[in-house]
Structure 1
Amino acid sequence: MLSTMQDVPLTVGRILAHGSTIHGRSTVTTWDGQKAVPRSFAEVGARAAQLAHALRDELGVTGDQRVATLMWNNTEHQEAYLAIPSMGAVLHTLNLRLPPQQLAFIINHAADHTILVNSSLLPLLAPLLPQLRPTLRHIVLVGDAGDAAAAQLDGFAGTVHHYEELIADRPTSFPFPMDLDERSAAALCYTSGTTGDPKGVAYSHRSMYLHCMQVVSAESFAFTDADLILPVVPMFHVNAWGIPYAAFMVGASLLMPDRYLQPQPLATMITAERPTFSAAVPTIWTGLLGELDANPGRYDVSTLRRVVIGGSACPPSLMKAFEERHGITLIHAWGMTETSPLGSVSLPPGGLSAEEAWPYRLTQGRFPASVQVRVIGPDGTPMPHDGSSAGEIEVRGPWIAAAYYGGAGNPPELGEKFSPDGWLRTGDVGTVSEDGYLTLTDRSKDVIKSGGEWISSVELENELMAHPDVLEAAVVAVPDERWGERPLATVVLRPGAQAGFAELRAFLAGRIAHWQLPERWSVVESVPKTSVGKFDKKVIRREYAEGALDVTVLGKDTTA
């Protein structure tokens, strides 16, 4: 028996139509370094229509061509987010922090037809032009671009346009097709490619719409039209965790930071514009906390009630510091490019005291009804959801990837990331409790296998960063003749800090099992990071193997 319900496609175009009319008075505001420049949702919708006309009528985007963006978080990027998928093309966000060879690879692999680029990012794009395929026909400069900027594209065989000139005087309404196949691709995002070439994940209209509904739900981010959201997480990274679309769905206003992501501009922006919600990786909030603590009374961040942390585990010490000193609640969330990215959010069950809720807040959160999870042990068998049995986390659901994009004209790529029975192997190691809360202990490639036992590098890092003299800490496995592997702790000390390795080891001794204590220590100026702000542990392992780190072993100075 079939249902009697209408089969209405779930598309980005419906989000655009709803947000620009029902919530037309909400705003997208871009920070220009000194002040905020607002534009209403109604205006953004009208300009998205003008962009769609320009792409179709002048640039020849008439089907599912890939239209790429190499842009900061700003209002024009939001317009592209809405216009490109809604007209039936595919939005391809380019990660501006990727190495040049990887950036060229993904432009060619996606066969991008057009690239919208902020003028300030031309130095990243221009040197790549000789490597790019002739499928790239148009480059659109967004923002102030003088003759000197445009001259960087002199060798481009296609056509160069200026965004405002391109959309000027075009109609402010567009016949966005509302009968698009909801399973067709709406957006394309590539993994950061920490090993090998980046992999493309093609999100469908359906997956993005359903993901938005989860983002705005009470058990996730709970956006309303009373919120002003500051998405520090880049729009080039997994669609800024779905925030630009989710905000348009419910009328939550957006405060776009553009390129001003450093602690001082962020603190100034928050003080001036008074957002209620934000999201970013932990390193952003570590820097912001340092700025706030170094300048007491200078900033007012009291309106910022909730901050979602993703990308890597947030140190508990950072969570407590923000809550106790600034009244801001930091919330764990977990996901990855392949999960759109929202997988779980660490909101505790209702009715608990602060003390009772704290253990839940330290987890990566509870899975929603739409995301199934299983824990696979080292022998390949499923483990119970008992909060203690650890294994690799596998997930499936309507916004979880089933394969990687194979490139224009090629079939999807499966590979070892996807199980034969349709689950995504995340590469994360952890446990799941009976009531669905995920606790990650490590990445499968980062867990330290010492004498037949596992040591969590994440736990060691969190405990080290609880020391008042430690700004950042990254722990990796290094070879050991006796135990196979042992932890190497690299630490970044706060300015003026004097803590020695013996003190740090003693500090850890009261918090973890004695056999897990690192023997090898190194002070570094900064922890290397990936293009999306995660600790890049493969660089630390390589530097150790090459003898590039000054390492202290059991109190003796040596070089590894």
Structure 2
Amino acid sequence: MKSTMQPVPLLISQILEYGARAHGTSEVVTWTPEGPRRSSYADVGRDCRRLANALRGLGVDADQRVATFMWNNEEHLELYLAVPSMGAVLHAINIRLFPEQLIYVANHAEDLVVVVDNSLAAPFSQLLPHLKTVRHVVVNGPVPDDVRAALGADGRTVHDYRELLDAQPDTFEWPELDENSGAAMCYTSGTTGNPKGVVYSHRSNYLHTMQVCMNSAMAMSEAQRMLSIVPLFHANAWGIPYGALMSGATLVMPDRFLQAEPLAQMIQTLGVTHSAAVPTIWNDLLQYLDSHPDADVSTLQSCIVGGSACPPALMKAFEDRYGIDVVHAWGMTETSPLGSVAVPPADSEGEERWAYRQSQGRLSPLVQGRLVGPDGREVAWDGEQVGELEVRGPWVTGSYYRDDDPAKFDGGWLRTGDVGSLSPNGYLRLTDRAKDVIKSGGEWISSVELENVLMAHPKVKEASVVGVPDERWGERPLATVVVAEGQSVDAEELRDHLAQHFAKWQLPERWAFIDEVPKTSVGKFDKKVLRKSYAEGALEVQTIG
């Protein structure tokens, strides 16, 4: 028996037009040196139609790639909406990649048009001679004549974003597309080898957006004022731009002002209620708030943290000192990215509730998960047994764009590379990345658990633990520590602190004090850099115990 339901495709254009009409008075607010710049969703809808007309005039008439090299701002949001709605594919380029990686992803995606913020135009112009397929550069904001000339070298045409839109009508008939066609693409951060491309479909993004708005996820609603610190080029912006249009939440875009002081000012000035960012952002904001008691962030109720595990001490500090819930979420570029969110069960309380909050959260309803042990067998959901997490679902990639990597897939399941356990009620607790687990004398040591306890010490700002070669045990943990400003601590004190939580054989003998933990382009601890520094003798290592 076939259903009687209408086969209406799930398209980004529906999210765009619904937001512009049903939530037309909601706003996108972009932070500038002069203060907030505001546009209603109705205004955004009109600009999106003008943008689509302008891109048609530049030859974007099918699934060509339109790239962005931008901060989070209103214009980037308009591209997020208009480009896929017109049938093209949005490629949000990670501006923090190394130059050779930026060149690789732009050429691999075969970008035709690139829209660049004026504050990024000069460095981007240095990449252009190496970009083989770019024919048009659209600049958001004024640039000096020499920069404009560099952007237009080699026969490329340079356009002004606002002038392009102002010359166009504000009507556009969005095509009825195949919901499984490509809507947007992101590349992984490329921690090993070249970045890999993931192409999201209209259907996958639409379903993912519905999940973002559910109470078991971000619960986005018209009452929220969401400060989207997570970059729009990072893993589909965690679904926030589309979630805002669908739910009517007001979006606050920080542009290039990502330091703790302007973020605190945005929260206070604009009455921000919710936000989302990686742990390093929240760590910096906490230190700023602690040293600036006049900063008022009382409107901020909750912030999503993802990208890497959040130290429990950071979560507790925000709740105890500022009444802010830090909500753990897990995902990756390959999962659009929402895989789980740590919303505790309604009947949990006390320490049990904290345990749920410190996990990576309950798997989303449409994300199936399983754990696979070292022997290749599936591991039980008992909260104790550990294995590599594999997932599948309608917003999980089944391959990489023009890049065969069979080792990442297992019979239709995506191998995440994350190691952990699943509770009987579906809560995920990750202990490490598979590549970061320290294999010592046939036993596994979790680098993440060591890091969390180290960063709970009041004299520690940051800490990262990696496995290094050891003649007797195969590998042993090396702890690298950034001491908090104005504090003094030695390895013996920190090892005694760890000894209260771990068996003696799990404690690091090797210690190094560093100025800063190296980060990847999306703010994660870059452990390969630490391993390389150790191997090359660049770290001043002391051995104790």
TM-score range, shorter chain: over 0.9
In the other structure, the counterpart of 1:117 is 116
In the other structure, the counterpart of 2:404 is 413
Q: Give the drift of 1:34.
A: 4.1
Deviation string 1:462-490 (CA, Å, 9 cap, x unpaired) is 00000000000000000011111000000
Kept in 2: contact 1:33–1:265 (CA 8 A) = no
Letter in 2 for 1:368: S
- Counterpart-to-counterpart distance in 2, 1:172 and 1:490: 56
In the other structure, the counterpart of 1:508 is 498
Letter in 2 for 1:395: V
In the other structure, the counterpart of 1:470 is 460
The one of 322, 332, 339 equivalent to 2:335 is 339
- Counterpart-to-counterpart distance in 2, 1:139 and 1:382: 50
Kept in 1: contact 2:118–2:139 (CA 8 A) = yes
In the other structure, the counterpart of 1:95 is 94
The one of 142, 145, 162 equivalent to 2:143 is 145
Stretch deviating more after TM superposition (512-521 or 197-206): 512-521
- Counterpart-to-counterpart distance in 1, 2:238 and 2:10: 19
Kept in 1: contact 2:340–2:361 (CA 8 A) = yes
Stretch deviating more after TM superposition (124-133 or 250-259): 124-133
Deviation string 1:429-464 (CA, Å, 9 cap, x unpaired) is 000010000000000000000110000000000000
Instruction: Check 1:34–1:328 CA distance in 2 against 1; reply closer, same or farther (3 A cut).
Output: farther
Letter in 1 for 2:446: S
Q: Give the drift of 1:136.
A: 1.1
Match runs of 1:148-187 below 5 Å: 148-177=146-175, 179-187=176-184
- Counterpart-to-counterpart distance in 1, 2:496 and 2:141: 53
Runs of 5+ in structure 2 lacking a partner? none
1:506 is paired with a residue of what secondary structure?
helix
In the other structure, the counterpart of 2:80 is 81
Letter in 1 for 2:407: E
1:8 is paired with a residue of what secondary structure?
coil
Match runs of 1:344-383 below 5 Å: 344-383=340-379
Letter in 1 for 2:268: T
Deviation string 1:278-329 (CA, Å, 9 cap, x unpaired) is 0000000000000000111x21111110101001100000000000001100
Whether 2:532 is the aligned partner of 1:542: answer yes
1:113 is paired with a residue of what secondary structure?
strand
In the other structure, the counterpart of 1:201 is 198
- Counterpart-to-counterpart distance in 1, 2:376 and 2:348: 36
- Counterpart-to-counterpart distance in 1, 2:508 and 2:284: 26
Letter in 1 for 2:462: E
Letter in 1 for 2:64: Q
- Counterpart-to-counterpart distance in 1, 2:531 and 2:154: 40
Whether 2:438 is the aligned partner of 1:440: answer no
Per the normalisation by structure 1, the TM-score is 0.96
- Counterpart-to-counterpart distance in 2, 1:355 and 1:546: 44
Kept in 1: contact 2:236–2:333 (CA 8 A) = no
Stretch deviating more after TM superposition (28-37 or 179-188): 28-37
Kept in 1: contact 2:67–2:111 (CA 8 A) = yes
Deviating above 6 A after TM superposition, structure 1's stretches of 4 or more consecutive aligned residues are none
The one of 391, 396, 402 equivalent to 1:400 is 396
Runs of 5+ in structure 1 lacking a partner? 407-411, 556-560
Same amino acid, percent of matched pairs: 59
In the other structure, the counterpart of 1:409 is none
In the other structure, the counterpart of 1:266 is 263
In the other structure, the counterpart of 1:277 is 274
In the other structure, the counterpart of 1:525 is 515
Deviation string 1:228-261 (CA, Å, 9 cap, x unpaired) is 0001000011121010011101111100000000
- Counterpart-to-counterpart distance in 2, 1:270 and 1:284: 14
Deviation string 1:390-425 (CA, Å, 9 cap, x unpaired) is 01000000000000000xxxxx63421111x20000
In the other structure, the counterpart of 1:188 is 185
Q: Give the drift of 1:352.
A: 2.2
Q: Give the drift of 1:131.
A: 1.2
Kept in 2: contact 1:122–1:152 (CA 8 A) = no
Kept in 1: contact 2:331–2:337 (CA 8 A) = yes
- Counterpart-to-counterpart distance in 2, 1:348 and 1:156: 56
Q: Give the drift of 1:511.
A: 1.3
Letter in 1 for 2:388: E
Deviation string 1:51-97 (CA, Å, 9 cap, x unpaired) is 1000002x010000000000000000001011100000000000000
Instruction: Check 1:469–1:47 CA distance in 2 against 1; reply closer, same or farther (3 A cut).
Output: same
